Amino acid sequence: DKSTVLYNVIDASEVNRKAAEDSGEYVYDIVYVGRLTSQKNPQRLVKVLAGVAQKCPTIKAAIIGTGELEAETIKAIAEHHATEFIDMLGYSTNPYGVMKQAKVLIMTSRWEGLPMCALEAMALGVPIVSTPTDGLKEIVEDDKTGYLSDDDAVLVDSCCRILREPDRYLRLRTNTLKKATELLNIESFKTSIRAVYDHCFS
């Protein structure tokens, strides 16, 4: 009773507003959004995307972000002969238009808290396929809002099932939006913080 966990929260309406500001039409089925660092394991990300392309040859994927492993990521894309279906888009102040039009947010992190990009994806109704890091285990429900696995083959298969099966995608999208409504309640977050302060200083 001496500790309270307050999960990250974002303004879902603001994320959707920014997505609506982007009038572009994108062809990306799968997106990654984040830093290209050892924590995020971008080399594994490229390997998984290459596996998806073997099973779903028409896919297009986008990597949004920069970092100290950018050169290694580009090298991995070349080594996996993936330049035709993986685009490196670099840093973006508004990645939400690209995210909203995708069917999957993919993550292959070695560890995570509760990443903002995952919450943003949920606010946009984008299912998540990821390694089972701490924070993501709190928000991704298997076969409801996405899929978690530490097995590359399972990650590949999960992406392909979402891309190949429209009914599955729509079900996951609906569940993801519902889960986002539950999680991203700013007023509830404020109430929780007030309760902590009231308890500490009462």
Question: Which residue is listed with tokens 């519902």?
Answer: 178
Whole-angstrom Cα distance, residue 1 to residue 16? 37
pLDDT in tens, the chain (202 residues): 566 665 667 899 999 999 999 999 999 999 999 999 999 999 999 999 999 999 999 999 999 999 999 999 999 999 999 999 999 999 999 999 999 999 999 999 999 988 999 999 999 999 999 999 988 998 999 999 999 999 999 999 999 999 999 999 999 999 999 999 988 865 655 665 666 666 667 6
Strand, helix or coil for residue 179 = helix
Confidence at residue 199, expressed as pLDDT on a 0 to 100 scale: 63
Whole-angstrom Cα distance, residue 85 to residue 146? 22
First to last CA, the chain: 16
Confidence at residue 188, expressed as pLDDT on a 0 to 100 scale: 56
Give pTM, 2 decimals: 0.89
C-alpha dihedral, 91 to 94 to 95 to 100, nearest 10°? 180
Beta pairing partners, 146: 128, 142
In contact, 9 and 42? CB cutoff 8 Å: no
Confidence at residue 9, expressed as pLDDT on a 0 to 100 scale: 75
Q: Which has the closest alpha carbon to 170: 142, 137, 145?
A: 145
